[in-house]
Chains A and B, each alone.
Chain A
Amino acid sequence: DIQMTQSPSSLSASVGDRVTITCRASQGIRNDLGWYQQKPGKAPRRLIYAASSLQGGVPSRFSGSGSGTEFTLTISSLQPEDFATYYCQQYNNYPITFGQGTRLEIE
């Protein structure tokens, strides 16, 4: 299985900050990567697919980049509703695997 490793595992930030989360794959996955946001007690919501394509309805402050083994999710200006846990997910190779999550907390 492809291992997905996110860093950091947790992050404290303030409203208005620019935040970047990194996801590394144990082997090359081209751009077969998605990013999800999950709030407590809720299902995940997809933000990004194909590494950099924004899911419909997702604010433009979210962006994704990368290919191969290293990927980033950037939130350009944190809003109060962005405090959540974020997961990367690869779909290049079956089984689909997720990163362990990055918890974004209010500083």
Chain B
Amino acid sequence: QVQLQESGPGLVRPSETLSLICTVSGGSINNYHWSWIRQPPGKGLESIGYIYYSGDTRSNPSLKSRVTISVDTSKNQFSLKLTSVTAADTAVYYCARGRDGYDSWGPGTLVTVSS
């Protein structure tokens, strides 16, 4: 059974770049889409974007050009970079398998944007 685990800093300064990695274990990253979703504290879910193992990617227009999603198949990992963060980007960030629906999720990691 595939497992996902997010990793990265829990605190990011305003205007800096949020960087997270999702490590996939128990299965190959190949032949699947992989996504990032976030959830501000006490609020609902927001899709950030997805990447195919081949590198094709798409992100939510609401995040404009701040999002970069990349994949490293040799490490069975994919990653998220979100630039120019503000307090509004404080959230639990989840990685998940899938593009249209998400059948496996990481436990999530809280990222706080604060000086």
**Chain A residues engaging chain B, CB cutoff 8 angstroms:** 1, 32, 34, 36, 42-46, 49, 55, 87, 89, 91, 94-101
Contacts and interface: CB of A to CB of B under 8 A. Distances in A.
Contacts of B106: 43
Interface in B62-80: 62
**Chain B interface main SS type:** loop
Assign chain B's interface to a size class.
Answer: 10 to 19
A91 B62 contact: no
B101 A44 contact: no
A56 to B, nearest CB: 8
A88 B103 CA distance: 14
Interface of B: 44-47, 58, 60-62, 94, 96, 99-103, 105-108
Given A32-B100, A44-B105, A101 B44 contact: yes
B47 A42 contact: no
Given A49-B101, A98-B47, 9 more contacts: A34-B101, A42-B107, A43-B107, A44-B94, A44-B102, A91-B99, A95-B47, A96-B100, A101-B44
A91 B106 CA distance: 20
Nearest to A55: B103
Could you tell me the dominant secondary structure of chain A's interface residues?
A: loop
Nearest to B94: A43
B110 to A, nearest CB: 10
23 contacts: A1-B62, A36-B45, A36-B102, A43-B105, A44-B45, A44-B102, A44-B105, A46-B102, A46-B103, A49-B103, A87-B45, A89-B45, A91-B99, A91-B100, A91-B101, A95-B60, A96-B47, A97-B47, A98-B44, A98-B45, A98-B46, A100-B44, A101-B44
